[in-house]
């Protein structure tokens, strides 16, 4: 798995980016309950709007930590030890969130199956 450590070009933040997504989870659930099709479209629109922002300054211009420009920013603001610490910490967090994501996917899969079933019953 590739590392997702990013460097903020604005404030020099190094680490994992925060996921930002448009729209609301409530609207998504409401649409899913109402009908499958609008829910599907809305979910597709939301996931297409997914982007990453700096957790510190909300700047969307984050660059991968292994790019030459990021290396330059990091070397200017941090010592080698600090960089290594941030990198290893982010990797550990990534592993943790990977397991958490798996659980969410299972929960979402079960809910979608449930909604499809409800809609099928409503159609009959
Ligand atoms: Zn920033």
CA 121 – ligand 1 centroid, Å: 49
pTM to 2 decimal places: 0.45
CA 10 – ligand 1 centroid, Å: 5
Give strand pairing partners of 51. 20
pLDDT score of 1: 40
CA 89 – ligand 1 centroid, Å: 18
CA distances 121 to 20, 38, 109, 112, 114, Å, are 35, 18, 19, 14, 11
Q: What is the pLDDT of residues 55-83, one digit of tens each?
A: 888 888 888 888 898 888 888 888 888 88
Distance CA 82, CA 85 (A): 5
Q: What is the pLDDT of residues 7-39, one digit of tens each?
A: 888 888 888 877 767 777 777 877 777 777 777
Domain boundaries, the chain: 5-17+54-123
Backbone angles phi, psi at 10, to 5 degrees: -95, -50
């Amino acid at each position: 798995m590739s590392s997702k450590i990013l460097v903020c070009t604005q404030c020099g933040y190094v680490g994992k980016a925060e996921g930002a997504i448009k729209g609301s989870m409530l609207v998504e659930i409401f649409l899913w309950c109402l009908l499958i099709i609008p829910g599907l479209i809305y979910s597709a629109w939301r996931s297409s709007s997914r982007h990453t922002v700096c957790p510190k300054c909300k700047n969307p211009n984050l660059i991968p930590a292994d790019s030459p420009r990021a290396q330059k920013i990091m070397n200017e603001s941090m010592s080698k030890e600090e960089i290594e610490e941030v990198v290893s910490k982010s990797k550990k967090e990534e592993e943790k969130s990977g397991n958490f994501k798996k659980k969410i996917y299972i929960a979402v899969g079960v809910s979608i199956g449930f909604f499809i079933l409800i809609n099928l019953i409503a159609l009959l």
